[in-house]
Amino acid sequence: MMNHLQATTTLHNGVKMPWFGLGVFKVEEGDELENAVASAIKNGYRSIDTAAIYGNEAGVGNGIQQGLKQASLNREDLFVTSKVWNADLGYESTLAAYEASLSKLGLQYLDLYLIHWPVEGKFKEAWRALETLYKQGRVKAIGVSNFQIHHLEELMKDAEIKPMINQVEYHPRLTQLELRSFCKENGIQFEAWSPLMQGQLLDNPLLMEIAERYNKSVAQIILRWDLQNGVITIPKSTKEARIIANAEVFDFELSSDDMDRISGLNENLRVGPDPDNFDF
């Protein structure tokens, strides 16, 4: 049951992943980052999501060590995700990128490793590398990010192992219904990045009206909507008060009517790049 911050969902390979975590996109190395990660762990978060391209894996690693110490936890109590960047997609280069990420994070293994973007002609070789790492027991789960249905179909044509996760841009203005149901049919867990649409939804009148009724913030309403849709969510914040507030979404439930009204905000609108048309 999704009734507390450490609640987990079981991925198709049996690994348990928390429904809720901390994202660190665009947070630079330094004290602010380390404190954010440590305070998230101290305040009950068990999932941290980073990526090679964020350039902050070392700081995340430091924050993890501090947080584990402060909360008297073991590495096994945490779920840590990173992602391989486009320039490193390829069999050998992806294996090397994994080692580099581990070394920066100061960890022996990752819980989840993702292909960050579906670069045509490259992601299949990268996936083969992820399968190798997975079979060697070097990583607990493997998945993809920003993959559309046709990318997933292309990948699964030759894959031995199905992705466990697809992490995509997902919020009330981009509900990705077809992609979500495709992933569900294939046992691929859906995960949201940019769940708050980089703050662009916080003054939305409908969401404000719903928030007032539940005596919650707009952010909490959106994050609760993610969870009730069966979507893992990793809101980003560096401020301890916000980190704590974001996670206060396990003590109420949105009615199905309110869920539908929030989903009705969909305009297929992205704040991030289009996975079918990016040039990096």
Catalytic residues, by residue number, are: 54
* Residues belonging to the chain: 280
Which residue from 83, 132, 70 is spatially nearest to 111, judged by alpha carbons? 83
**Number of other CB atoms surrounding residue 40 within 10 Å:** 27
CA 200, CA 271: separation in Å to the nearest integer? 9
**Number of other CB atoms surrounding residue 56 within 10 Å:** 24
CA 263, CA 34: separation in Å to the nearest integer? 35
